[in-house]
Amino acid sequence: MNPKKIGLLFGMERAFPQALVKRINELGSNNLGGGKVVAENLLIDVIRLDQPLPYDLILDRISQDIPVYRTLLKYAALRGTEVINNPYWWTAEDKFSANAIGIAAGVAIPKTVLLPHNSHPPGTKPESFSNLKFPLSWDKIFSYLGFPIFLKPALGGGWKNVYKVNNSEEFFEKYNLTGDLTMIAQEAIDFESYYRCYVIGRERVHIMRYDPKKPYLQNYVPDEPAASPELKARMERDARAICHALGHDFNTVEFAVRKGVPVAIDFTNPAPDADVNSVGKANFEWVVQNAAEFLMDRVQHPRPFSMSGNWPTLFPMLSARPQTIASPATEQVRPAAPQPPKTEISISAAASASPAPETSKKKGRK
Ligand SMILES: Nc1ncnc2c1ncn2[C@@H]1O[C@H](COP(=O)(O)OP(=O)(O)O)[C@@H](O)[C@H]1O
Ligand SMILES: [Mg+2]
């Protein structure tokens, strides 16, 4: 029997893909878990519509930055290659909906509001926004969220265009820099501790103490006191619930802990940082070993394709509707979906697109 083949797709990173390929090939030659498995860096040449890719599984670390890779991976998935993370759901996901999914999964989420584009998207003009109240009820947003507020893109990562603002003047100053990005505004969680959890295969959780206020490369703080057993258990439960709901097999989930409650801040990270220089040696080793074991297990025990995780089953209003298409996602339903906690955490949507009101600074507005 031919060995199962795993391909790695990556950009500038080197240490993680190299270590992962090496580890899989070492473990694979020992016949871990059954049939032989090999791994290699993906080499892309001519992609024809009539030929599948010669891989049983591809780990995607870079298609968020290289759109042609996303198209390639969707095609690979159609032709039977298991792609991690699911390129269809990754394309569809945004932080606002993901936050709604987080709440449905029983996780504490900051109060969040969807904002209209600050500038008109190309090809639109004021008349295009027929359905948008103008001016928007900004006071309602500010009194609901309270200052400070975090402004961040609904689609994004790497702290790009993320701003913390303390009052309405600062809010509009930063909002006016955001052009036609889709932005969300979120209450700032005043946390006593902060954690970043690696989650592989939706079940393997590795909790890392993280200090977002330290400079880059010093964020992971291994010497800090570990979380209490209760907090650890809650973060593990929440991190798993989020990854089952979203259907990400490779993800990090960040929690800001406020008064003992882990509040999920960022959990749409399907290509999370695995650089040994930033995560540190011990975390790096965990990721390499667990990624290798998980990918090898998965390539030998492929799962039925599904478009997303189990989130459609978490929304009673969706389950109540007549179903015309059987959803493979139901196979992943956890026994009892917990109810959202009765905290002040909630979510609300504002209108979907309108310019900001005129402010003294009109930069970035049309
Ligand atoms: N609601 C919030 N409360 C407290 N801190 C936040 C909040 N939102 C974002 N942050 C801080 O900003 C950082 C970047 O925001 P994040 O949502 O992770 O964006 P990105 O996806 O670009 O990494 C987080 O790591 C966290 O330190
Ligand atoms: Mg983040």
Which pLDDT score is estimated for 1? 74
- Nearest-CA residue for ligand 1 atom 16 is 266
Which pLDDT score is estimated for 220? 85
Q: pLDDT tens string for the chain (366 positions)?
A: 789 999 999 999 999 999 999 999 999 887 554 568 999 999 999 999 999 999 999 999 999 999 999 999 999 999 999 999 999 999 999 999 999 999 999 999 999 999 999 999 999 999 999 999 999 999 999 999 999 999 999 998 889 999 999 999 999 999 999 999 999 999 999 999 999 999 999 999 999 998 888 887 788 887 667 789 999 999 999 999 999 999 999 999 999 999 999 999 999 999 999 999 999 999 999 999 999 999 999 999 999 999 999 999 999 888 788 876 555 544 444 444 444 433 333 333 333 333 444 333 333 332
Query: Residue 266 C-alpha to ligand 1 middle, in angstroms?
Result: 6
Query: Residue 8 C-alpha to ligand 2 middle, in angstroms?
Result: 23
Q: Which pTM value belongs to this model?
A: 0.87
CATH topology of domain 193-271+307-332: D-amino Acid Aminotransferase; Chain A, domain 1 (3.30.470)
Query: Residue 162 C-alpha to ligand 2 middle, in angstroms?
Result: 9
Which pLDDT score is estimated for 217? 78
Which pLDDT score is estimated for 125? 94
Q: Per-domain residue ranges for the chain?
A: 4-92, 111-188+339-366, 193-271+307-332
Query: Residue 135 C-alpha to ligand 2 middle, in angstroms?
Result: 31
Query: Residue 266 C-alpha to ligand 2 middle, in angstroms?
Result: 5
CATH topology of domain 111-188+339-366: Dna Ligase; domain 1 (3.30.1490)
4-92: CATH, from 3.40.50.20, 3.30.420.40, 3.30.1490.20, 3.40.50.970? 3.40.50.20
Residues framing ligand 1 (Cβ under 6 A): 110, 150, 152, 156-160, 162, 186, 188-189, 212, 254, 256, 265-266
Residues facing 199 on adjacent strands: 205, 251
Pocket test for ligand 1, best of 152, 221, 255, 268 (most atoms within 8 A of CB): 152
- Nearest-CA residue for ligand 1 atom 20 is 157
Cβ distance 278 to 217 under 8 Å?
A: yes
- Secondary structure in 3-state letters for the chain: CCCEEEEEECCCCCHHHHHHHHHHHHHHHCCCCCCCEEEEECCCCCCCCCCCCCCCEEEECCCCCCHHHHHHHHHHHHCCCEEECCHHHHHHCCHHHHHHHHHHCCCECCCEEECCCCCCCCCCCHHHCCCCCCCCCHHHHHHHHCCCEEEEECCCCCCCCCEEECCHHHHHHHHCCCCCCCEEEEECCCCCEEEEEEEECCCEEEEEEECCCCCCCCCECCCCCCCCHHHHHHHHHHHHHHHHHHCCCEEEEEEEEECCEEEEEECCCCCCCCCHHHHCHHHHHHHHHHHHHHHHHHHHCCCCCCCCCCHHHHCHHHHCCCCCCCCHHHHHCCCCCCCCCCCCCCECCCCCCCCCCCCCCCCCCC
